[in-house]
Each structure stands twice: as structure tokens, then as C-alpha cells.
Chains A and B, each alone.
Chain A
Amino acid sequence: RKEVEQDPGPFNVPEGATVAFNCTYSNSASQSFFWYRQDCRKEPKLLMSVYSSGNEDGRFTAQLNRASQYISLLIRDSKLSDSATYLCVVNPRAAGGFKTIFGAGTRLFVKA
């Protein structure tokens, strides 16, 4: 089982739709969580951190469920410019240091 799993998609949605991605992680000692966005042939860029209480940034909402070991990303009122790959990132506490684990990403296509 992969340490971080995401549905690869692709998700094809019309403009204005609401779309949700889930990401599951296997290490219950995971400490911090992020969503990154990666455009085609570009580097990943931080979209938002995911806090235990959940957090919202405009049209984007991130949630963490520690009991079930998953995080989610909700995008409301999708725009064409939201088309990208969304990467889930988990940082478990590791003895002697840290470890950042990336999911393989979920592809989103928003169509007019």
C-alpha cells in the first residue's frame, strides 16, 4: 500500500462546478499536510496548508480527518484556470528528522 494515495482522475468538470478530491495516508504519526498545485510542465506550488480545524481560502476548502486518515480539497465555482494536477503532501514525524511524502496527484480539467 502506498503511503499517500490519491485518485489519479482525471476529473472533467464544467465551469462553475464543485469538485472534491480525497487523499488517504497510512502513517498515523503524520504531522502536517498540504495541497500543492502543479500546472503542465511546471513545478509544484503550494496551494494551501491543511489544519486540524479545516481551513478555507476563497473558493478552496481543505479538511483533515485524522481518525480516518484522509485529507480533502474542495473547489467551488470551478474556473478554467483551476485545470491542473493537485498533489497531496503528508509530513510524518520520522526519527532523526522528517520525511515529506507526495501523492501521485489528481488531474483536473475544467471545461467551458
Chain B
Amino acid sequence: DVKVTQSSRYLVKRTGEKVFLECVQDMDHENMFWYRQDPGLGLRLIYFSYDVKMKEKGDIPEGYSVSREKKERFSLILESASTNQTSMYLCASSLADRGYSYNSPLHFGNGTRLTVT
């Protein structure tokens, strides 16, 4: 069974702090994703990566960066946390099928609830 592990379940940070959210998957998946989920807005894609050292912007990348130095690990970085980044952050991974991942379902970690004060 696929396991996607997020390092923290709950985080409280102050405005202006640099925040690191870590995600590790154990199924050798090529693709990894970071989403945030807010009431009424659903899941919104921040960044994704389809290979080591590769990254692509999602729909809302502003204020975030990512790092993928190893296949199993995808980190989300908030360079200078702001109160509007208070949210549930969800990491996911999926298998790439012959270079196209659109047929592969996503497997999610259990989320990090970040509060920025």
C-alpha cells in the first residue's frame, strides 16, 4: 500500500518565518504534488514535480517554492510566511505511466494544518 508521509500534522508559525513542509513517499512514484485546501475553495495545486530536480508551477505558486533533491522527497517552502497562507497543506504522489501520469490516481499524505499568526 502506498504511504505518503508528511512530517507534521499541525504547525504554528509566525508571520515572516521561513517554513519547511516535508513529504516522503515510499512507492517510487515519479510524480509528487503540493496542494492547499481551504473551505469553499477546494484543492488548489501549488507546485508539482515529475522527476528529481524538476518542478512545475501549479495554479497558486506565489509565495512558495519547492525542492526535490531525491525521488522520494518533495519539500514545500514558504519563504516568508503570511497569515493568508494559513491552510491545510496536502502532499500527494502518483505513478507515471509511460511518461503520461494522467491515468494515475493521486495518493495523499494526511495533511499539515499550518497556522500563521
Q: Which of A's residues lie within 8 Å of B, judged by CB? A: 31-32, 34, 42-46, 49, 87, 89, 91-94, 97-100, 102-105
Contact = CB atoms under 8 A, between A and B. Distances in A.
Given A87-B43, A100-B45, A43 B102 contact: no
Interface string B78-89: 000000000000
A32 B102 contact: yes
A98 to B, nearest CB: 4
Contact of B110 (A42, A46, A100, A102): A42
Contact of B103 (A31, A42, A46, A87): A31
Contacts of A87: 42-43
Taking chain A's interface residues, is the majority helix, strand, or loop, or is none over half, making it mixed? strand
B105 interface: yes
B74 interface: no
A93 B102 CA distance: 7
Given A44-B43, A98-B100, A100-B45, A49 B105 contact: yes
Contacts of A49: 105
B117 interface: no
Nearest to B105: A46
